[in-house]
Amino acid sequence: MLPDIDIPKTGSGSLLPVSTPRRRTLEHEPAEGTTPPPHHHQYHQHNVTTSSNNNYSNSNNRSPTSKRRMNSVMRYLRPPPRWNTNRWLLALFVLFVVSTVLLKIVLMNTFLRRMKSHDFLRHPDQSKSKSSTTTSTNTSSVSEEKAIIDHVERNEDQRTPEIWKKPRSDNFVRCIGRSKRKSVVGQETGTNGYILVHANGGLNQMKTGISDMITSPTGQIQAQDIEELGKKLVSRLREKGNHYIALHLRYEKDMLAFTGCNHNLSRAQSFELRALRYKTRHWKEKQINGTARRLEGGCPMTPREAAMFLEALGYPPSTKIYIVAGEIFGQRLAVFKKKYPNTFSHSTLATEKELEPFRKRLNKLAGVDYIVALESDVFVYTYDGNMAKAVRGHRIYEGFRKTINPDKESLVRLIDEFDKGLISWEEFSSQVKSTHKDRIGAPSYREVRESPKLEENFYANPLPGCLCEN
């Protein structure tokens, strides 16, 4: 409270001069030099005392300027209610975010401590959902079955010549089984017959070919006819228990024109291939040095080179060989048949009646060749194209069936040295065998490279991904 103000009485003795601060005359005060009304002293004393306790009750007694100043100060000191509400909401949101992050970190650390190394790479054991009795029974049955299979394979290996033996792959099993899903009503649903693969690289030509060869213009699926004819040809090749080789001899006109390879061809044949290459617009590369490409291993093997390769590996002239290809360019297959007379193709192994539904449908015949190549005892491909990649990867998935991948860069060098008389046949054969002893389709992991285009094609080697080490 403000102290009481002593006002000097009128008529008293002389007073000392008192300096009084100048202040602005209020509306209710009398002008200076005039006599205030009798009740002014009491009213002023009462107003000063009560104004400190209740500013708002006497606001009407203030000047407009004072009112405006007071309102400005009050607005500054008392922010609107929404300001506090927004700040509280922001604080709660920040607290929620921080708590969520901390909780996630704690849960992940707990989860990782409980996980074993490489658990994400292991195939989930679907038998865990069953009872322990069923699990033990199934495990013992699988063990007995595997023991029988191993025993049979060992006996067969003892009787099978080395050239027909497939690489060992005892510790690898398929691991693409999907977990069972339940429908809305709670019943288990079976597979829908499709597999979804995310892989590096594509098989554009094979994709078009497969969709072409299994359907007719009416939309009718014709894969069954292709499979039946393929099995018939396999059965005929295996008569009397003989083994056979499927040779993907990609020495065809379109492939030679695409790669620019013209080794040992006549000038007219080379010009014909060059004209086809320039005529095909979607082939980007036009000027090609065929000789340099062959020395780099980028050309499909010629029929003569393929015959020398098989002979050097130890396959006798009586070996049955199925040619997985279309028409061989330049009648060069005669050179191959001279060394291996038991050479067949779908044109010579099937009857005219059997081939009638496949006339003018090369993609359907390619499907027949695919089945025969898949079921062969040995698969050899002379050019690493889409068809060869698909067959190779499928054979790996089926149990690492013997698949020979020629080292063409080394092979053409050895053939040229042999033709020049620089090495003998024995030395040539010895070097070919030593070079290809580890190129027969044994298990090897597909390495991850800087980009998908640089790493091995998934279709050519589905390990890892579809095969797991047991």
Task: Give strand pairing partners of 467.
Answer: 174
In tens, the pLDDT along 276-310 reads 999 998 998 999 999 999 999 999 999 999 999 99
pLDDT at 3: 45
pLDDT at 417: 95
The predicted model gives 347-354 an average pLDDT of 90
pLDDT at 271: 93
pLDDT at 170 over 90: no
pLDDT at 20 over 80: no
User: How would you label 114-139 residue by residue, b for 16+ Cβ within 10 Å and e otherwise?
Assistant: eeeeeeeeeeeeeeeeeeeeeeeeee
In tens, the pLDDT along 309-342 reads 999 999 999 999 999 988 888 878 888 999 999 9
Which one, of 370, 245, 373, 384, lies nearest residue 301 by Cα? Answer: 384
Question: How much of the chain exceeds pLDDT 90, in percent?
Answer: 33
Cis amide leading into 3 (omega within 30): no
Q: Which of 131-135, 149-153, 348-352 has the lowest mean pLDDT?
A: 131-135
pLDDT at 81: 56
pLDDT at 10 over 50: no
Residue 463 pLDDT class (50, 70, 90 cuts): confident
Of the two residues 378 and 123, the one the predictor is more confident about is: 378
In tens, the pLDDT along 250-280 reads 899 999 999 999 998 989 999 999 999 999 9
Residue with tokens 């072409």: 212
pLDDT at 66: 74
pLDDT at 78: 58
Query: pTM for the complete prediction?
Result: 0.60
Q: How far is CA 452 from CA 298, 330, 356, 388, in A?
A: 20, 37, 42, 19
Q: Which of 1-15, 71-85, 325-339, 385-399 has the lowest mean pLDDT?
A: 1-15
The full DSSP string for 141-189 is: HHHHHHHHHHHHHHHHHHHS-GGGPPPP-TTEEE--PPPPEE-TTS-EE
The predicted model gives 41-51 an average pLDDT of 44
In tens, the pLDDT along 215-236 reads 444 444 456 788 999 999 999 9
pLDDT at 240: 75
Report d(CA 4, CA 115) in Å as an integer.
84
Q: Residues with Cβ < 8 Å from 51, sequence gap 6 or more?
A: 58
Domain ranges of the chain: 201-251+300-469
Which one, of 435, 422, 408, lies nearest residue 263 by Cα? Answer: 408
Question: How much of the chain exceeds pLDDT 70, in percent?
Answer: 63
Report d(CA 319, CA 310) in Å as an integer.
10
In tens, the pLDDT along 374-393 reads 999 999 999 988 899 999 99
**How far, in whole angstroms, is CA 218 from its chain's centroid?**
34
